Amino acid sequence: MAASSFSATSYISKSSIVDSSFNSEHSKNLLLLKFKLSRRIRPRGRNFAVTNVASRNQRLQNSPDQSIQETTDALDNGILVPDSESVISSIKYHAEFTPSFSPDKFELPKAYYATAESIRDMLITNWNATYNFHEKMNVKQAYYLSMEFLQGRALLNAIGNLELSGAYAEALRKLGHDLEDVAKQEPDAALGNGGLGRLASCFLDSLATLSYPAWGYGLRYKYGLFKQLITKDGQEEVAENWLEMGNPWEVPRNDVTYPIKFYGEVVKGKDGHKTWVGGEDIMAVAYDVPIPGYKTKTTINLRLWSTKVGPENFDLHAFNDGNHAKAYEALKKAEKICYILYPGDESLEGKILRLKQQYTLCSASLQDIIARFERRSGESLDWNEFPEKVAVQMNDTHPTLCIPELLRILMDFKGLEWKEAWEITQRTVAYTNHTVLPEALEKWSLNLLQELLPRHVEIIKMIDKEQMVIFFAQLIDTIIAEYGTEDLELLKEKLKQMRVLENIELPASILELLVKPEEIIIVDSLEEKSSEEVTELPKTENNDVDIRAKVTFDPDPKLPQMVRMANLCVVSGHAVNGVAEIHTEIVKNEVFNDFYKLWPKKFQNKTNGVTPRRWLSFCNPELSKIITKWTRTEDWVLNTEKLIELKKFADDEELQSEWRKAKRMNKERTVSFLKEKTGYLVSPDAMFDVQVKRIHEYKRQLLNILGIVYRYKKMKEMKSDERKEKFVPRVCIFGGKAFATYVQAKRIVKFITDVGATVNHDPDIGDLLKVVFVPDYNVTVAEVLIPGSDLSQHISTAGMEASGTSNMKFAMNGCIQIGTLDGANVEIRQEVGEENFFLFGAEAHEISGLRKERSEGKFVPDPRFEEVKEYVRSGVFGRNSYDELMGSLEGNEGYGRADYFLVGKDFPAYIECQEEVDKAYRDQNKWTKMSILNTAGSYKFSSDRTIHQYARDIWRIEPVVLP
């Protein structure tokens, strides 16, 4: 709908303020309304503070008393349910009094901001009530620390969770706009990139919906990761501009700031107390984003940190002297910490910036958590109670520094001794592992950490030393039980693998235990001398000198000294969880097997989940209505077990007909979207085959596009009638970002777009095959593509995908999957039925053997695989050389060679499985039944279920329902 000015029912310009909605009594009525509303939501003797409610559902055309009566008549468990007229007044108020745009027109951008601010009023009211109740009850609270929160757009999600879609849609229609058009004005919040961040956002939605006391903590990235452009050269990156017009959902908390320090030195006082002094000081400033629950007044908080320094750090003299760069050097150093998500770390400067980001998140969040604990405890403050009131969840290894930071605060500022602080830390923190890829298990240079965070390195060394003593005692018993003897060499190797510190001499106390009784070892501490330094050897009773045996574990001077962040998480936390059943087994049996043998109860599985609100109810309303009709309840949105009811009707012709109509509507929406975003016009009659996720070699977009190339080649070799009979029409859709410095991933993006440019303009092929790469894949794009998909691809090399969450979203929307037995695919296949999942490829337990076979030169590639590589090299897809890309699939060993991700091994099984897909799709009744059973089987993958498990097994928190 075209933008319109306010007409008779709305203000036209600033000069038109004489409208009855904004008469001279407005301010008085507004204050009275706020007062009465605050009284209205303070029932049952509770004294909840309600602030920042600028325009709670004003209906000011009538008298204040009448307006309030009509506005608050519809209440559900204390939640205000306004009508469209009061919504109109609220939107008008913000258009006039909280303006981000000039006053003369009410165009779509202005309509969006005014609508968002209107909704935010409600969220702040509920947020205040939630916060104050948690504060008053002093409940145990979970804190979720994550470098990413991939929120997506907030407007429709908030309106949906508050059950106000009808009122806001009607109000905006009366104001000349369509709700969907208004919602499109919102940029996706650029606070995340992939599944890690989307999982965190789904968790926040579920935490609020289930009324668990919890907060999220992250960083407020100014430019996000990057905005992806697709050009003739492939992927190009430009800065995100999501904050250019401001963010109506965030509430700056300028009074909530914490000091953050880098560099400097550690000084020991006469009393033995350590003080970290000097260095570079900045401030972290809080920005709060309210997260509403579904059908509940509970609204929790996502607190994001921005960084700055005070005005005293601006060098006015340098500026006036013309040295402008020097004048604001300190300001830029502080601000750039929150510029970019995952800055490139190829350079030393990039590594320093990443570490600064991680420490800023950890330090500011923990200072905030501790301040809240102290305030709630009051005079009865007892630090031993801290783990009974606080649960800190580290989402992957990025927040690992919260471990030494918590210890530092407890010891250096709160006066606790090491033993007590260490016990409190271990009972407080827990760790979610998201990867088995060695390169993703973070390691940081000890020297870099020493320079940037000297006090933390001291603490990490204390942790390492403490754990070595424990490991020694436990490992020696395990080795004797398993091998029947004290195998000291094996013990040394296991200690080496389990340490927090890598390539650093063992502490003297451990070295003394590792030598044989007849050997004498003189060794200084870790911080001072190595075992190879010359010392005066002691004499025996016979005045003879024993020759010291050389210790077998010496640091390798050619290798860097590192800190293993994942090991630090495992030894320091009370729980370690994987995110899918197969992933957890790999974590226990391979990645952290020695730890698992020592602490089997510490390791848990928590299969990921996705919120059914955003990922089915809101993004797929057509299908949602059908589900509600056939399950006879809307309860499935909260209790996804109700989806199982669909299994009973999977063969019902009426349901199948309705199901196909909903899918067709979603596909037509996808067709329009693809035309708008890429210029390609595709047919909704074709199968929509989708792979959307981060571009990475292990996710094997390369296998997918090579399969498409093979399909295209075979089509070209046939006559028109023959190819139409042989192949089902397909639209193959890709989306995802390749990290800016990941050269091979960017080559894959370029290859996909080149294939598309050739195939899509081939008149011989027409609508039989299209290849479309959607630029700048994000949550909003996913909300369009997933409901319109027929087939989705989750084809990672087995054992390398921790879980995946897009596979859950596709299944929830009735999309059938082709994939390997990897991550959550395993559980999805179990739940939807093996016959409703297209399976191919090597299994996780076979991978190491297959790589060994390759390295020994024993692998014989399938002729079809060789054929497709030669076809690519023939130049049919343009002049671009694909020697590096195809070369990575060849040879027996070497970096970037030898087909490490087994594309060639799985290629024949993959194309044969795709033939089975074509065959199944031709039988639309069978396909629709498979689709229904996928939705029915997705009940297990609600993030509500996952959060209940975290709350019960790790955090030990209970729901707190507001009265």
pLDDT, tens digit (0-9, with 9 covering 90-100), for 608-637: 999 999 999 999 999 999 999 999 999 999
Mean predicted confidence (pLDDT) in 801-816: 97
pLDDT beyond 60 at 202: yes
Q: Name the active-site residue from 303, 356, 694, 905.
A: 694
pLDDT, tens digit (0-9, with 9 covering 90-100), for 416-441: 999 999 999 999 999 999 988 877 78
Q: For position 537, what pLDDT does the model report? A: 37
Q: For position 17, what pLDDT does the model report? A: 29
Mark whether 693 is an active-site residue.
yes
Q: For position 454, what pLDDT does the model report? A: 98
Mean predicted confidence (pLDDT) in 520-534: 40
Pairing type for strands 562-564 and 443-445 reads antiparallel
Mark whether 625 is an active-site residue.
no
Q: Name the active-site residue from 809, 854, 869, 929.
A: 809
pLDDT, tens digit (0-9, with 9 covering 90-100), for 308-346: 998 888 889 999 999 999 988 999 999 999 999 999 988
Question: Which residue in the block uniquely carries the two structure tokens 């000081």?
Answer: 281
CB atoms within 10 A of CB 457: 21
In this prediction, residue 83 has a pLDDT band, given cuts at 50, 70 and 90, of: confident
Mark whether 540 is an active-site residue.
no
Mean predicted confidence (pLDDT) in 163-170: 95
Q: Name the active-site residue from 72, 805, 928, 946.
A: 805
Mark whether 125 is an active-site residue.
no
Encoded tokens for 343: 């800055």
Q: Give the Cα separation of 495 and 65 in Å (integer).
A: 74
Q: Name the active-site residue from 198, 492, 693, 929.
A: 693
In this prediction, residue 719 has a pLDDT band, given cuts at 50, 70 and 90, of: very high
Mark whether 809 is an active-site residue.
yes
pLDDT, tens digit (0-9, with 9 covering 90-100), for 745-791: 999 999 999 999 999 999 999 999 999 999 999 999 999 999 999 99
Pairing type for strands 730-735 and 769-774 reads parallel
Q: For position 101, what pLDDT does the model report? A: 86
Q: Which residue has the higher pLDDT, 290 or 527?
A: 290
Q: What's the mean pLDDT when you consider all of the chain?
A: 88
pLDDT, tens digit (0-9, with 9 covering 90-100), for 115-145: 999 999 999 999 999 999 999 999 999 999 9
In this prediction, residue 482 has a pLDDT band, given cuts at 50, 70 and 90, of: confident
Residue 87: C-alpha distances to residues 83, 289, 437, 672 (Å): 6, 22, 50, 31
| Amino acid letter for position 791 | L
In this prediction, residue 71 has a pLDDT band, given cuts at 50, 70 and 90, of: very low
CB atoms within 10 A of CB 315: 17
Percent of the chain at pLDDT above 90? 77
Class of residue 649 by CB neighbours under 10 A (exposed 0-12, middle 13-18, buried 19+): middle
Encoded tokens for 854: 């390759």
Mean predicted confidence (pLDDT) in 529-535: 38
pLDDT beyond 90 at 917: yes
Of 172, 182, 183, 7, the C-alpha closest to 87 is 172
pLDDT, tens digit (0-9, with 9 covering 90-100), for 225-264: 999 999 999 999 999 999 999 999 999 999 999 999 999 9
Q: For position 27, what pLDDT does the model report? A: 43
Q: For position 80, what pLDDT does the model report? A: 56
Q: For position 515, what pLDDT does the model report? A: 65
Q: For position 553, what pLDDT does the model report? A: 63
pLDDT beyond 80 at 52: no
- For the residues of 415-439, what is the DSSP string, one character each? ---HHHHHHHHHHHEEEE-----GG
Mark whether 261 is an active-site residue.
no
pTM: 0.89
Residue by residue, what is the 3-state secondary structure of 97-156? Answer: HCCCCCCCCCCHHHHHHHHHHHHHHHHHHHHHHHHHHHHHHCCCEEEEECCCCCCECCHH
Q: Name the active-site residue from 602, 699, 869, 940.
A: 699
Q: For position 173, what pLDDT does the model report? A: 97
Mean predicted confidence (pLDDT) in 590-617: 96
Q: For position 61, what pLDDT does the model report? A: 35
Q: Name the active-site residue from 198, 434, 494, 588.
A: 434
pLDDT, tens digit (0-9, with 9 covering 90-100), for 559-576: 999 999 999 999 999 999
pLDDT beyond 90 at 46: no
pLDDT, tens digit (0-9, with 9 covering 90-100), for 257-284: 999 999 999 999 888 889 999 999 999 9
